[in-house]
Amino acid sequence: MDDQADAEDTSGTLSFSLLLDKSLPSLVVIAAWNPGKDLLAMVTMDHQLIVHRLNWQRLWAISPGMFSNHPPLPFYLTVTSICWRPDGKALAVGHINGSIAIHDVENGDVLRKTGTHQVAVECLYWAEEGQNITDNEDEIFLYEDRTPRFFPPPPKPPSMPGTAPSFDMSSVLGSAMEDLGGGSLKGATQDVKHGLDVLCSGDKDGVICLSAFGVFPIGKLDVRELVVNEMASGTKGDEKSSEQLLNASAFQVSLSSDLRHMTVVCTGTSTVDGRTRSTSSGNYCLSVNTAILGDRRKELRQVALQASSIEELIDVLQTSLSVMEKQWSEAITAVYEKFNGFTQLLREHGSNVSPQDELLGLLTCGYASPALHQFLAASVGEGGLKRLAKSIDTASKELYSVLSEHMQPAAEIIAFRLGELRGLARWHARLACVGLEESLMDRALEHAGMLLVQLERLLRIVSETTGGFRLFFVWLLKALRQLNRETLSQAETLPNVDSMAVANFLQTDFEKDPIGLHLSNSVNVIVDVPKEIEELMDEVAAMGGFKDSKFLQRTLAQEIDLLTICCHEAFAMPLKVVSPQLGSPCMILLCNTAISPIARIPVSSTYFEIKQDDGVLAVEQDDELLVSQYICFRVNDNGSPDDPSVVGILRGFGPNHGSQDKRIFREAVSFQLDSSLRCNDIALYKQRQLVLLVTERDLETGDWTGQTWIMLLQLDDLPFHILETPESGANLDLLHLCSSKGSPSDISLRHGKVRALPQSDVVMPLAVSASRGLACVFTSQRRVFLYDLEEDEEAKDEDME
């Protein structure tokens, strides 16, 4: 109780103002503060994703079942991780099936969903390019996107009744889309203040994926396949041994603001040349060199923005094609169903003549057989003919609208953007290392040009086919009135009909359905092309035109499929080329399973930008901006939950500019809480500050059911020690090394700023907002407490007076 007395001064001032005390409908298992807004995202035990304002007003709530591919089924897509975009306008949500959904902050709508992983996404981290990153003069890469100069804003997918609207990529990419015409055009050159941001995700199988703007994959690595800590084997010659992690599972990932250093915290079993160590299973921290992302961030940004825009426009093409196919098939199916009845009627009258021949006979001779007369007068009638004509006319107008207002503008912008990327791809020195290949861009650009030709052809076919149907139905209506012996004045209300045009339509387009043919993506469909057109296309190819002179034999749907395949192949190259360059990892054993019986330990990781003169770096470096990473973790000493908690802090550094020196200097410290305290959760707060949730042991029962405290600890007061990688093949065991260097072994409540919580049944998570100075604590009794870490309660009351 002495610590409790020391926690409050003689004036009775309470540390940390209590801003909120609310009850919850369900336990909260995951929580994260929005970095730019007073919003808190939470995942509850009853499968709810909820966003609250600071005053605890609910902004929106979504059931995970709404995310599933089969909404009608009683299936909950469990949320396993969440992370806010750096600008706070979108929320990334990882699911147990490996998918990642990006939600709009305003209403929770799914802006984009990707199947990035195959198993549960255990951790997410969204890093943004730092504002203070500078380049050497010869490394400046400025690129002007000229698309907004020549094109209006890109078209959106047409709506289809009964389906949800497609996502808006401008919402997914955020402010960066202003540089690609997704927002207001502020000048001829791009606004370089919108840098690259990267969504890092790790899964249960140790696979780490990196996606630019959360949607475009630019890197992937498997922790289980990484070779780390290559060292001298100590046997003979210059033989080296390599260390790997088996059965690795990532549960924390982070990326520095200069995009050059990534840290992965995972569980696994260490092996050296395939031999498992006796004490190798535990929690490890891996540092991965991602300098390629920082060195080529501007190139990756342009490729990701352009490629993402093209992929969105390809979705517009595919959606438009589906809409047209649905609209046209409904109209033409109604016509064919009626005339299939005419075929059956002819068979009932003992005639083997086709419906086309019967209609041609009526057109040329003016004679209608009894079957034709019955069909026109009784089966269809004047009202039925008008309805069929109207359905065809309406469908043709909708097709023309989709083609001219959605597909053509999308195809034109796709071709222009592919041309821009092809121009960039010719700068091999800068773009080849990020996977932009000129040959693949040439192929995709050629298919984009072919698509424009296909669209022009389909516009002409729609016009000709619907014109033929219009003449056909006018003639049928006129013939029906004549068969019914209507007065001449009534017959004259219909326009004159070109008999030759009707005959050509019956002989060519009535059965073939050229519109439906071009909307089909069946690989077996081949379009008939006149011989003179084929010869002309061969001449064009010989003069430097399209290399594939037979492309007119493909349908529009087939051409879109080929363009999609080519673009996917070209845009998959950055992932294939960048991923092998993510390497040179080194590894530290945070704690082994003998110390921590729980598979995963509470971990908090963050990056800070500091100056050397801040006095936190014990190794000599040039006077430049440094990126400092802190990793804090908790374990139980001796492996028993009844033992006091041990907390370790790892501080790593890497220069902001590229360096040939692959060493990463580390400092660390560990401490043990007083034997009467147990650490429930930890969170790094502002630079050199740590927030802990600690519970006292009940003196009567000996259980951890005593008073619970929120504690703010200054890291400056802890003596960090430089860690040297051992020459032998032994693991670098952080806790043992810290203990051998004389780290403090006892921290009590008097060492930090503390406040007692109203309830002792505290459960994780602890959600801390460094930008707002807030901490949210959740309890097993379904209550939440919100504290202001920057202001004491009495001081706040005095200010209000």
Do 453 and 563 fall into the same domain?
yes
Check: CB of residue 100 under 8 Å from CB of residue 201. yes
Note whether residue 320 is domain-resident. Answer: yes
Q: Do both 411 and 429 map to the same domain?
A: yes
Cα–Cα distance list, 654 to 207, 258, 419, 473, 663 (Å)? 24, 10, 38, 77, 9
At residue 603, the pLDDT reads 83
pLDDT of residue 664: 53
Tell me, yes or no, whether 443 and 378 share the same domain. Answer: yes
Q: What is the pLDDT of residue 673?
A: 84
Q: Which of 123-127, 480-484, 788-792 has the least mean pLDDT?
A: 480-484
Instruction: Residue 572: give the domain boundaries.
Output: 297-486+494-511+557-579
Shared domain for 376 and 465, answered yes or no, is: yes
Residue among 312, 290, 305 nearest 192 (CA): 305
Question: Quick one: which of 448, 454, 611 has its CA closest to 527?
Answer: 454
Measured CA to CA, the distance from residue 488 to residue 476 in angstroms comes to 16
Residue 299 has pLDDT above 80, yes or no: yes
Q: Residue 171: is its pLDDT beyond 80?
A: no
Give pLDDT, residue 72.
44
Give how many domains the chain has, as a whole number. 2
In a domain, 671, yes or no: no
Is the pLDDT reported for residue 443 higher than 70? yes
Q: Over the stretch 86-103, which tens digit does the pLDDT of each residue have?
A: 999 999 999 999 999 999
Mark whether 309 and 360 lie in a shared domain: yes
**At which residue do the structure tokens 């098939």 appear?**
329
Residue 181 scores a pLDDT above 70: no
Place of tokens 């915290």: 265
The percent of residues above 90 in pLDDT, for the chain, comes to: 29
Asked if residue 446 and residue 364 are part of one domain, the reply reads yes
Q: Is residue 310 part of a domain?
A: yes
Same domain? 549 vs 564:
no
pLDDT reading at 609 higher than 70:
no
pLDDT > 80? residue 405: yes
Q: Which of 416, 392, 538, 412 is nearest to 465 (CA)?
A: 392
Which residue's entry shows tokens 């195809």?
411
Determine the pLDDT at residue 183.
Answer: 40
Stretch 142-166: mean pLDDT, rounded?
Answer: 74
Q: What is the predicted pLDDT for the residue at 449?
A: 94
Residue 162 has pLDDT above 70, yes or no: no
Average pLDDT, the chain: 79
pLDDT score recorded for residue 344: 84
How many CA atoms lie within 13 Å of 449's alpha carbon, on the beta-carbon side? 12
CA gap 585, 262 in Å, rounded: 9
Among candidate residues 710, 769, 747, the one with its CA nearest the CA of residue 15: 710
Residue 429 sits in the same domain as residue 309: yes
Average pLDDT over residues 166-185: 49
- Confidence category of residue 143, pLDDT binned at 50, 70, 90: low
Instruction: Tell me how far apart the alpha carbons of residues 747 and 610 are, in angstroms, rounded to a whole number.
Output: 27
Q: Is position 36 within any domain?
A: no
Find the range with the poorest average confidence among 102-106, 192-196, 204-208, 501-505.
192-196
- Tell me what pLDDT residue 644 has: 60
CA angle 604, 57, 15 (to 5 degrees): 50
Same domain, 349 and 426: yes
Q: Is residue 332 domain-resident?
A: yes
Phi/psi for 124 (5° steps) reads -135, 145
Contact indicator for 671, 306 with CB cutoff of 8 Å: no
Q: In Å, how far are 54, 402, 451, 463, 514 from 457, measured between CA atoms?
A: 57, 14, 10, 10, 11
Which is higher by pLDDT, 619 or 216?
Answer: 216
In a domain, 182, yes or no: no
Residues 536 and 503 in one domain: no
Query: Is 730 inside a domain boundary?
Result: no
Say what the pLDDT of residue 656 is: 40
Q: Which region among 3-17, 259-273, 479-493 has the lowest average model confidence (pLDDT)?
A: 3-17
User: Rounded to the nearest 10 degrees, how much is the dihedral formed by the CA atoms of 243, 245, 250, 256?
Assistant: 10
Higher model confidence: residue 556 or residue 347? 556
In a domain, 591, yes or no: no
Residue 616 has pLDDT above 70, yes or no: no
pTM given for the model = 0.83
Higher-confidence residue of 55 and 565: namely 565
**Both 412 and 529 in a single domain?**
no
Residues 27, 623: Cα–Cα separation, whole Å: 48
- 422 vs 472: CA distance, rounded Å: 48
Looking at residue 83, what is its pLDDT? 94
593 pLDDT tier (thresholds 50, 70, 90): low
User: How far is 478 from 461, CA to CA, in rounded Å?
Assistant: 26
Please check whether residues 334 and 369 belong to one and the same domain. Answer: yes
